[in-house]
Amino acid sequence: MKKLTALLLTIAMVVSLSACGQTDSASASASASAQEASGETKTVKAGFICLHDENSTYDLNFINAAKEACEAMGVEYLIKTNIPEGQECYDAACELADQGCNFIFADSFGHEDFMIQAAKEFPEVQFAHATGTKAHTAGLNNFHNAFAAIYEGRYLAGIVAGMKLNEMIDNGTITADQAKMGYVGAFPYAEVVSGYTSYFLGARSVCPSATMSVVFTMSWYDETAEKESAKKLISDGCVLISQHADSMGAPTACEQAGVPNVSYNGSTASVAPNTFLVSSKINWVPYFTYAMGCVASGSAIDTDWTGTIATDSVQLTELGSAAAEGTEEAVNAAKEQFAAGTLHVFDTATFTVNGETVSSYMANVDDDPNFEGDHEAIVDGYFNESGAGFRSAPFFDLQIDGISTEN
Amino acid sequence: MNQNKKEPLFRITKRTDIPPHKSWIIRGVAIVIALLVCAIITTLLTKANPIEVYSSIITGAFGTTRKTWITLQNLSILLLISLALTPAFRMRFWNIGGEGQILMGGLATAACMKFLPGVVPNGLLILIMLLAGIIAGGIWGLIPGVLKAKWNTNETLSTLMMNYIATQIVAAFILYWSGKQSSGKIGVINPDDNLGWLPKIGGIAQLLPVIIAIIITIVSYIYYNYTKQGYEIAVVGESDRTAKYVGMNVKKVIIRTMFISGALCGLVGFLLVGGVNHTVTTTIAGGQGFTAVMVSWLAKFNPFAMIFSSFLIIFMGQGAGEIATAMGLDSSISDILTGIILFFVIACEFFISYKVTFKNNKKEEA
């Protein structure tokens, strides 16, 4: 017994010592320089890091886009799923780099710091990260952030909600004063605030008497809390619910109560066939195509890339059966105005803060730990969310009139 | 006993003197059968070649130098948690609060990393982090220990419940530190100057936990077998009346042992925050506080045997990710395989402890 354990310990030590002997970073950099010397276009090998697997709608959206973009471009790719927002992300990124990937992408907000760590270690590899905020201040030329002007998609989804409210008012189901919507948010974080405000402004653009009540669950994924929050909002008199959290909690509660629901990240018609109105989502194919194209041609990837309706990065799903008549037309009209540049979601003429029009606002773009503003965000009469020269991740965090927040 | 009665089909008798080599043969046979069953199930479920699945599990754990180091690091962490729970288990004190003790140790470490740089030099900072982690984890273990010693409360319940308290305390601090407009994450602490980050020995970040695990394994073995305190733990575990009769202070032994158990979990929290993740989250222990219970039991509380039981679990876990990436399978397949292997390993303990005798031909089951 003792002999056996001693023997196995020795083996363990030998294994660990022999592991010290090798270094594979040298071979990785050698192959990279060989590629550079070979010609103009580099062969792209892509690696994708996902927080969960296909069972999460959030990650499924990325996985499908990654496969579609890579297959269209003939790019070899690896997908690592179920990578937590910790050191595992750094390890996964390094392993992908070891395996010869020269474009590595991570999909979750909490992956960012670990991607930066890996980017410092592999300067020849391009790292990209969705929803992150630090690329423009990290000072690395191989680390990039990307997002989409999803607030425009939310605005369009808000129009769908507003049309539904109008239908309810016209039917006499509710009075104009009762046009109160409920919103289940994750955290009082800028991305969420920007999302629900743009959604609300969209709804109010067609239903002027609309108001909204927001509840935070303080978690990105908590099915029970999301369901309970939706139920609470419904019992408080909300006649239409939307959410920014990743579970099916809120759509399920709406289906049970027969309350219309506007979703996010993809259709939830499967769990709420009678109450699903529409969902806005980000299509990541255009970004992957763009970024991998840059890697192939050797040109620089934008530090912050913001997809729009024009790049087909911002999409609406098919309308649900519960949507009001004339919704399609109203949405298309707004889309055309976005394309023409005549409509801005955060037009300062359409909202007030504490009863006053906002003419100047210092937004916290550089991720200040004390949430102090550093950039003037009001440009040409509108809040320039995710605009050029700022960052791709949303930073609109004003508490506008008409929206009440709880807890 | 009753000669006239019909003899049952088989009889189960307790073994008292099974030689160690025989018990290891039984275990080996169990693992071989488990691997065969795994192969059959893999082929049936996924149509994939089982040899290919096994080889990608091995690649996942040892395919590159980096993978080998990560496997060794994860092995060391799980082994350390198992070693941390073991003193309590040897005393028949069911400490299933490893998760919470790790979290509290990690939280204390993170607090030092966040607020002490600039106040003290880096070397001293790391020393303070270590002490803070050990003490915080120790206190979290001490509380159920004191409750048990003074009022004989059920330690299974109290240690379990303290996990949830610890999770909520960590969640509250993360929210407090990250500010009310945040997304509920504090991110990497000191990313630029790396203050409070544990040193990379020989340039390898994963080496430190490995060294600490080796040291603690050896020290544990010595502690249980060659020290007075280790003997006291064994006696209290056998019978606290015997312990009282021979004049041991049972309460003192319980409280001291639970402090050691919690402190070692706190040490793991220190390693996870200072050396591995460089941040603290509510999921930093990742359920390993519970996995370690099984690791410790499978090894019969023997520190050296724990190397194997924790290796088995980590090896299969590392393989899971590789199977998912390389073969496009869901990573759940590895969980299924781990489950099958554990089932056989646990089941074979029955045949080590008991002897099955059949009616006519006396046959031994392995």
- Segment A381-401, tens digit of pLDDT: 899 998 877 888 899 989 999
A281 SS3 class: strand
**CB < 8 Å to A372, chain B:** none
Least Cα separation, residue A76 to chain B (angstroms): 12
Confidence category of residue A407, pLDDT binned at 50, 70, 90: low
Q: Could you tell me how many CB contacts below 8 A there are between chain A and chain B? A: 101
Q: Would you call B66 an interface residue with chain A, using a CB distance cutoff of 8 Å?
A: yes
Yes or no, beta carbons of A87 and B204 under 8 Å apart:
no
Whether A105 shows a pLDDT value over 60: the answer reads yes
Here the ipTM equals 0.80
**Which pLDDT belongs to residue A8?**
53
Q: Find the residue in B nearest to A186 (Cα).
A: B183
**Which pLDDT belongs to residue B331?**
66
Q: Find the residue in A nearest to B286 (Cα).
A: A84
Yes or no, beta carbons of B68 and A15 under 8 Å apart:
yes
Whether B125 shows a pLDDT value over 80: the answer reads yes
User: Which amino acid belongs to residue B363?
Assistant: K
What secondary structure letter does DSSP report for A133? S
B65, B73, B174, B180, best to mutate vs chain A, most A CBs in 10 Å: B65
Structure-token pair, residue B164? 């949830």
Structure-token pair, residue A402? 């008409």
Whether B75 shows a pLDDT value over 80: the answer reads yes
Q: How far apart are CA B177 and CA B266, in angstroms?
A: 21
User: Which amino acid belongs to residue A298?
Assistant: G
Q: Would you call B76 an interface residue with chain A, using a CB distance cutoff of 8 Å?
A: no
Mean per-residue pLDDT over chain A, rounded = 87
Whether A31 shows a pLDDT value over 50: the answer reads no
CA-to-CA dists, residue A108 to A112, A223, A364, B235, angstroms: 8, 19, 21, 51
Task: Name the strand (E) or helix (H) holding A279.
Answer: strand A276-282
Whether B268 shows a pLDDT value over 70: the answer reads yes
**Which pLDDT belongs to residue B39?**
81
Q: Find the residue in A nearest to B194 (Cα).
A: A117
- Scan residues 211-270 of B and list those with Cβ closer than 8 Å to A: none
Mean per-residue pLDDT over chain B, rounded = 88
Whether A16 shows a pLDDT value over 50: the answer reads no
- Within A45-174, residue ranges assigned H as helices are 57-73, 87-98, 112-121, 135-138, 150-171
Q: For residue A70, how many other CB atoms are within 10 A of its CB?
A: 23
Sign of CA dihedral B34, B39, B43, B46: positive
Residue B249, classified by CB atoms within 10 Å of its CB into exposed (0-12), middle (13-18) or buried (19+), is middle
Q: At what angle do helices B303-327 and A2-21 cross, to 10 degrees?
A: 40
Yes or no, beta carbons of A20 and B204 under 8 Å apart:
yes
Whether A169 shows a pLDDT value over 90: the answer reads yes
Q: Would you call B150 an interface residue with chain A, using a CB distance cutoff of 8 Å?
A: no
The β-bridge relationship of strands A45-49 and A240-244 is unpaired
The β-bridge relationship of strands A103-106 and A126-130 is parallel
Residues 6+ apart with CB under 8 A from A271: A248, A251, A252, A255
Q: Find the residue in A nearest to B277 (Cα).
A: A87
**CB < 8 Å to A117, chain B:** 188, 191
The torsion defined by the Cα of A316, A320, A325 and A327, in degrees rounded to 10, comes to -10
**CB < 8 Å to A86, chain B:** 276-277, 279, 281, 283-284
What would you report as the CA-atom Rg of chain B, rounded to the nearest whole angstrom?
23
Least Cα separation, residue B45 to chain A (angstroms): 18
**Which pLDDT belongs to residue B38?**
84
**Which pLDDT belongs to residue A367?**
74
Nearest to A243 by CA among A210, A276, A273, A205: A276
Q: Would you call B363 an interface residue with chain A, using a CB distance cutoff of 8 Å?
A: no
Only one residue has tokens 């069972």, namely A55
**Which pLDDT belongs to residue B180?**
67
Least Cα separation, residue B22 to chain A (angstroms): 11
Q: What is the mean pLDDT of residues B75-83?
A: 96
User: Roughly how many angstroms between the first and final C-alpha of chain A, as a whole number?
Assistant: 60
In chain A, the domains with their CATH numbers are: 41-148+285-307 (3.40.50.2300), 150-281+316-406 (3.40.50.2300)
What secondary structure letter does DSSP report for A348? G
Q: Which of A221-230, B18-27, B140-149, B210-219 shows the lowest mean pLDDT across its residues?
A: B18-27
Number of residues that this document lists for chain B: 366
Confidence category of residue B4, pLDDT binned at 50, 70, 90: low
B352 SS3 class: helix
| Biggest alpha carbon–alpha carbon distance for chain A | 86
Structure-token pair, residue A322? 């519960």
- Within B16-151, residue ranges assigned H as helices are 20-46, 50-62, 65-90, 98-115, 122-151
Q: Find the residue in A nearest to B67 (Cα).
A: A95
Q: How far apart are CA A279 and CA A274, in angstroms?
A: 14
pLDDT exceeding 70 applies to what percent of chain A?
89
Q: Would you call B192 an interface residue with chain A, using a CB distance cutoff of 8 Å?
A: no
Confidence category of residue B3, pLDDT binned at 50, 70, 90: low
Main-chain dihedrals φ then ψ at residue A266, nearest 5 degrees: 140, 165
